[in-house]
Amino acid sequence: MPQLGFGVWQVPDDEATTAVALALEAGYRSIDTAAFYENETGTGKALADSGIAREELFVTTKLFNSEQGYDSTLRAFDASIDKLGLDYVDLYLIHWPCPDRNSYLDTYKAFEKLYADGRVKAIGVSNFLPEHLERLIDATSVVPAVNQIELHPQLQQRELREFHAERGIATEAWSPLGQGKGLLEVPAIVAIAQKHGRTPAQVVLRWHVQIGNVVIPKSVTPSRIKENFDVFGFELDTEDMAAIGALNEDRRLGGHPNEVN
Ligand code: NAD
């Protein structure tokens, strides 16, 4: 899985075609969408139009909460793959655990069937807490490849990252730029950006890369799409990493995994 991908939450279907096309042109090969984003059709169109070989692309989509359950998951997967215009996806994620629905185990069993049938190359989850992961791992046979969680310098998720590392689960960061709200103006980040002649967004993405996260920034602005992909030509030093490490506030921008239904 590429460590740096492109996210398309809140991008309308028709704009997704343009945004994903720009991202592919800039060099991204991993695209993160979801049934809930209602832009699988537009995303799939850009993938097809790009002429890039299927095996060079890494496409992630997610099963939405209302479709949890064994049979409904299989139906929802068919709908997603139809919209994307693909034969398989590289990674399929359960979007939220929704513990009140008590159906993520049945959902995951359908994921295991899709995996065994070769219709998805890897299966994983999103927004799972250790308690959900433990229950899932105990009751099923394929350890989730990925847990995609909210993670940025103001919500560093150290314990959950450690938990993932112990079990061989990749940590994928959503809202890696803190949705661009305030994080990119934090003085410590601005100072590090000036020191390296980079932008605050590049510094934050570089921090993710250096702590080992998979990262999927979103933008619809052509220059930012390029800028966010250009984070492999410099390195943050120990001092920079410590300064960013000190910014954690355990501050969530999105919902709590036990509360989203
Ligand atoms: P993000 O942290 O990627 O921030 C995106 C916003 O930051 C943009 O809309 C723009 O306002 C700003 N921005 C982007 N690049 C910039 C730059 N170079 N300079 C200045 N500002 C810049 O936020 P996100 O979209 O919430 O998260 C990224 C992706 O993560 C989503 O598109 C989606 O694919 C995924 N996601 C998943 C979940 C989940 O529940 N699994 C939830 C939210 C997001």
Residue 253 included in any domain: no
Tell me, what CATH number does 96's domain have? 3.20.20.100
Q: Is the pLDDT of residue 194 over 90?
A: yes
Pocket probe mutation, ligand 1, options 11, 129, 179, max atoms within 8 Å of Cβ? 179
The DSSP letter of residue 215 is E
Average pLDDT rounded to a whole number, residues 161-167: 98
Average pLDDT, the chain: 98
Instruction: Supply the ipTM of this predicted assembly.
Output: 0.99
In a domain, 56, yes or no: yes
Residue to substitute in 15, 149, 218 for testing ligand 1 pocket (most ligand atoms within 8 angstroms of CB)? 218
Give the atom of ligand 1 at the shortest distance from the alpha carbon of 33.
34
Tell me what pLDDT residue 255 has.
97
Residue 56 CA to ligand 1 centre (angstroms): 23
Set 28, 37, 104, 108: catalytic member: 37
- Residue 137 to residue 213: CA distance in whole angstroms: 21
If one counts every other C-beta atom within 10 angstroms of the C-beta of residue 65, the result is 20
Q: What is the pLDDT of residues 166-186, one digit of tens each?
A: 999 999 999 999 999 899 999
37 catalytic residue (yes or no) = yes
The pLDDT assigned to 3 comes to: 98
User: Mean per-residue pLDDT for 71-97?
Assistant: 98
CA distance 246 to 242: 6
Residues in the annotated binding site: 95
For 122, the domain range is 6-245
pLDDT (0 to 100) of residue 178: 98
Residue 213 lies in a domain: yes
Does any domain span residue 257?
Answer: no
pLDDT of res. 181:
85
pLDDT in tens, 105-154: 999 999 999 999 999 999 999 999 999 999 999 999 999 999 999 999 99
Residue whose CA is closest, atom 22 of ligand 1?
Answer: 180
Residue nearest to atom 30 of ligand 1 (CA): 174
Q: How far is CA 137 from CA 71, 97, 107, 217, in A?
A: 21, 13, 13, 29
Question: Each residue of 95-106: pLDDT tens digit?
Answer: 999 999 999 999
List the structure tokens of 179. 């949705």
* Domain-embedded: residue 251: no
Distance from residue 34's CA to the centre of ligand 1 (Å):
14
In the predicted model, is pLDDT for residue 235 greater than 90?
yes
pLDDT on residue 82: 98
**Does 49 reside within a domain?**
yes
Residue at 236 is within a domain = yes
**Considering its fold, how many domains does the chain have in total?**
1
What number is the average pLDDT over the span 242-261? 97
Domain membership of residue 143 (yes or no) is yes
With beta carbons less than 8 A apart as the criterion, state whether 61 and 126 touch: no
Question: Which ligand 1 atom sits closest to the C-alpha of 11?
Answer: 32
